[in-house]
């Protein structure tokens, strides 16, 4: 019993010692730490796509580390206005990018490179036989949408205007993922979300297209720009070119984004 314990202890000590040695060794010669780090503040809806692109980018350029900081576009823009250290800002709306621009925090002209359209998310099989926005109106169908104050809510309002209907949601959520969750948990019959959200739900919901999704203001634009005063301006430029280039296009399309 005691001998066994002693052996375990000895093993632990050895392991720790080795670990320390290994750290020292690797730090010194073998894997040089990334010589440069690029911080990208990106809209939460880009999580999957940017994650994939980060891997590809880092593989192509081993001396580089991409640090991704996801959040609401508005929050990210505010943070950068307040001086948060970031090299690139990627928003999910023109308005939030303008916020950063007006504060003089964006270098040059930001690029609009993708768009996201609304879709009606329903449960698989579409049990309520929803065909478009008008079929959501009325008490027999419950729906959840984004609150008008947040970008997806503004888009929803634009689509409603275009369709000439006024929805009667049971809840106006703070963000689009909450709307999606209402549908996947079966608490509402339908929810207005983006195509990318439907795609990410892995078959738990079904997306119904509707014509007003392309209306003025209904679609969501994705913009990317370099932050003023970045230490890594050239690296920021290569990331922007990468995202807006062919490899970016493939990843974005797979996720359900439309290219601009």
Angle at 96 between CA 94 and CA 98, to 5 degrees: 70
Q: Which one of 1-9, 12-20, 35-43, 165-173 is the stretch in contact with another protein (CB under 8 A)?
A: 165-173
Residue 180 lies near another protein (rule: CB under 8 A): no
Interface mask toward another protein for 39-78; x: CB under 8 A: ---------------------------------x-xx---
Residues 6+ apart with CB under 8 A from 79: 41, 71, 86
Using CB under 8 A, which residues numbered 132 to 151 contact another protein?
Answer: 142, 144, 147, 149-150
Which of 56, 126, 174, 238 forms a contact with another protein (CB under 8 A)? 174
Q: Under the criterion CB under 8 A, does residue 170 sit at the interface with another protein? A: yes
Options 105-113, 163-171, 226-234, 242-250: segment touching another protein (CB under 8 A): 163-171
Nearest distance from C-beta of residue 74 to another protein, angstroms:
5
| Residue 16 interacts with another protein (CB under 8 A): yes or no | no
Per-residue contact string for residues 71-100; x = within reach of another protein by CB under 8 A: -x-xx-------------------------
Give 164's Cβ-side CA count (13 Å radius).
0
Binding segment for another protein among 13-21, 42-50, 106-114, 166-174 (CB under 8 A)?
A: 166-174
Instruction: Give the chain's radius of gyration (CA, Å).
Output: 23
Sign of CA dihedral 220, 221, 222, 223: negative
Structure-derived torsion over alpha carbons of residues 118, 132, 216, 182, reported in degrees to the nearest 10: -30
185 binds another protein per the rule CB under 8 A: yes
124 binds another protein (CB under 8 A): no
Give residues with Cβ within 8 angstroms of 64, minimum separation 6.
34, 35, 36, 37, 38, 57, 58, 235
What is the nearest approach in angstroms of another protein to the Cβ of residue 188? 8
Rounded (to 5) percent helix, strand, coil in the chain: 45, 25, 30
Minimal distance in Å, beta carbon 124 to another protein? Answer: 13
- 88 and 54 in contact (C-beta within 8 Å)? no
Q: How many Cβ atoms sit within 10 Å of the Cβ of residue 41?
A: 25
In DSSP notation, 208-220 reads: E--GGGGSTTTSE
Q: Which residues bind another protein (CB under 8 A)?
A: 72, 74-75, 142, 144, 147, 149-150, 169-174, 178, 182, 185-188
């Amino acid at each position: 019993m005691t001998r066994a314990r002693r052996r375990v202890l000895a093993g632990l000590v050895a392991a720790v010692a080795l670990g320390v040695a290994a750290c020292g060794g690797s730090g010194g010669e073998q894997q040089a730490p990334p010589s440069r780090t690029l911080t990208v503040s990106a809209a939460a809806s880009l999580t999957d796509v940017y994650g994939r692109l980060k891997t590809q980018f880092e593989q192509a350029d081993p001396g580089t580390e991409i640090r991704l900081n996801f959040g609401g576009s508005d929050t990210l823009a505010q943070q950068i206005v307040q001086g948060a250290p970031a090299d690139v800002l990627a928003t999910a709306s023109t308005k939030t990018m303008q916020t950063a621009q007006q504060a003089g925090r964006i270098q040059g002209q930001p690029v609009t490179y993708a768009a996201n359209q609304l879709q009606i998310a329903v449960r698989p099989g579409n049990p309520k036989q929803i065909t478009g926005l008008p079929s959501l109106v009325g008490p027999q169908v419950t729906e959840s949408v984004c609150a008008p104050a947040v970008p997806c809510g503004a888009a929803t309002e634009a689509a409603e205007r275009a369709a000439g209907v006024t929805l009667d949601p049971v809840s106006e959520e703070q963000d689009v993922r909450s709307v999606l969750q209402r549908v996947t948990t079966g608490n509402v019959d339908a929810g207005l979300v983006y195509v990318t959200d439907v795609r990410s739900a892995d078959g738990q919901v079904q997306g119904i297209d509707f014509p007003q999704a392309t209306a003025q203001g209904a679609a969501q634009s994705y913009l990317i720009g370099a932050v003023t005063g970045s230490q890594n301006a050239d690296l920021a430029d290569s990331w922007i070119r990468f995202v807006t280039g062919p490899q970016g296009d493939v990843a974005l399309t797979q996720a359900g984004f439309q290219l601009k």
